[in-house]
Structure 1
């Protein structure tokens, strides 16, 4: 990296992600000049990318936005980005842009673009824990999420089964309700039930379990849920819990272990794509499922 010819200094926060991963993605960068000028916010989107690709793009775009050499403090919550630059990049270049085991380098073009931008600046790379209260990291995360193009749901995929999983919980009755709606081409089937005592998380799990249990054909499945807990558990946490003998990182027993074990077993049989939906893009079938689950949960109030 070359030393900057000027004394321009800037602090940068970047973030990026895809939802689902891979899928539509967004990136964002916030540039904070040292002279107290107004922060500059950048963001953008791409159609079919991964989390890592968007983390890289955020850094590329931030550096491209600087008109000349700068001294930069760059903060990212991506270890892939930070370690890639500070630990792996030089080796990839020496190896002809191939990995350490001589395999084609993933995201090669973006790494080359980033490397070209890095040469113009003097950069200190910092890892910042995501969602830990850092004002500018949180802002970059919000901008990146907002940039992601929301696909119309449910997806137009006639070759897959669409499962709409809804859960609800009543604090008064301590009772929960769940509803699972299955759709394949022109056929639709709804299942529902109650559990007492229960929690909201348990009801989201129960809806997915009951829906998957009712599927008889080995087809790809789209699961639509309003629950980050359900999606993150199924796609990220459950493998860690299994490897750790169903304990959390802190050594505590995993909550709802029996339900997670059932769900994990069912997921082994299918190719599943998860969709976490909010009010703004919630399919009608899921809205109706939430209504049914809520009515069931409130029946004993």
Structure 2
């Protein structure tokens, strides 16, 4: 298959390109160099010229707090640009994979959200990603919407890299413990996304590494596996006020993966272990 990937300089796009190459697909990578997502005409021309069989849309506006000050820009990138690419995919008959987020849910309670649970984003980023989902569902039949959370990969900034950096100068840290979710290793996720696009099992999916934890739990396990002697003190979110409201509950059900016969990703602890080895290498 010929597959176009947007956002190849980000954590996920980088790993998707690697998986496509390993499986013998013709991968066309797109970053800001190729076209700006907000230049709808340039984006359309690039995709029409490439004529891919599928588009894996990894590019997004992801600065969650900054989005509160740049609501329009965030909506143009995550909503408008996604609508534009989905329209091109429809016109050329390409499959479309849209990467969404746990932030489309209200983030309350303790139950894992199923794919069709009521939406209710609490910040500008979540609203913009939901707008992208709605555009994809409105325009396309051949789509995969894949919601992810707490992403980490080799190519970019993430929580693990931040914790390891802090461990160089701190032996005590306070970390939020009232936000619960699932870390997602882009190397594992990329394999699943390519599995999906190789099928016609269209629909909405949740794809994170298995298991739930708080950010404090995550930090403790990072330091344990990395052999860092850092004491983590759990604190409530109120200790670290942020511009954008963060969901307290980011648990997401994998039942849709089961129904379609897709595999679950390994546990987040296992993913962390392999990621630390990747960082070492």
Do both proteins adopt the same fold according to a TM-score greater than 0.5, normalized to the shorter chain? no
Structure number with higher relative contact order (C-alpha < 8 Å, ≥ 6 residues apart): 2
Q: Which has the higher helix share?
A: 2
Greater gyration radius: 1
TM-score normalised by the chain length of structure 2: 0.31
Q: Which has the higher strand share?
A: 1
